[in-house]
Structure 1
């Protein structure tokens, strides 16, 4: 079994604040002021979106390099959505500074469905929790 990622969060004195350590990186997590937080860092669902879009960007750049394509500058954005019926989904949007022809757009959309984080999110993920 291989560990592909690791992170640890430690509580801060603020109501919802936490300090996350992942590898050599340290960043904050919090809730927005509308949830009585101080909004000093991304909230948990923001991190889900961030993981998805960063993986999408990296995978598309790797694909373009491998295929000798020039995608130019682009951005990826995602929103976590939920409705009253309890359904949840993510809407992901790509925006390219250069125009992609229809065939390349189709390839890009196909690659997006195959990014590692997308594939993880699309299948059920078992979460095992223990107290150590």
Structure 2
């Protein structure tokens, strides 16, 4: 068993705001004003999307480096959706500054579907919660 990530959040005075610490990094999490927050930082579902797109970018760059490919500058975006029936899904978009061959487009889509965070989200994850006293 290995820990591959760690984060801690501590409440702040403002409703819904918290200070997140992960390794040497710190940032604020909050809810949008429309949900009663101060919109000082990303909301929890924004962080899920951020994790997915960050992993996608890193995985594609690692793949390209390993294969000696030049992907050029690109961006990855994601939207988290939920419908009235409670179905949830994420739509991820890749945009490349330079044109890609059809073969490379297909490989990029294949690699994107196999990133570690993609796999985790697709299979779900068990969450165990304990009280620490």
How far apart are residue 36 of structure 1 and its match?
Answer: 0.9
- TM-score scaled by structure 1? 0.99
Structure 2 counterparts to residues 58-97 of structure 1, below 5 A: 58-97=58-97
CA RMSD across the alignment: 0.4
Q: Deviations over 1:69-126 (max 9, x none)?
A: 0000000000000100110000000000000011100000000011000011110200
- TM-score scaled by structure 2? 0.98
Residue of structure 2 in register with 1:23 after alignment: 23
In the aligned structure 2, how far is the partner of 1:119 from the partner of 1:57?
15
In the aligned structure 2, how far is the partner of 1:35 from the partner of 1:86?
19
Residue of structure 1 in register with 2:4 after alignment: 4
4+ runs deviating over 3 angstroms: none
**Unaligned segments of structure 2, at least 5 residues:** none
| Count of aligned residue pairs for this structure pair | 132
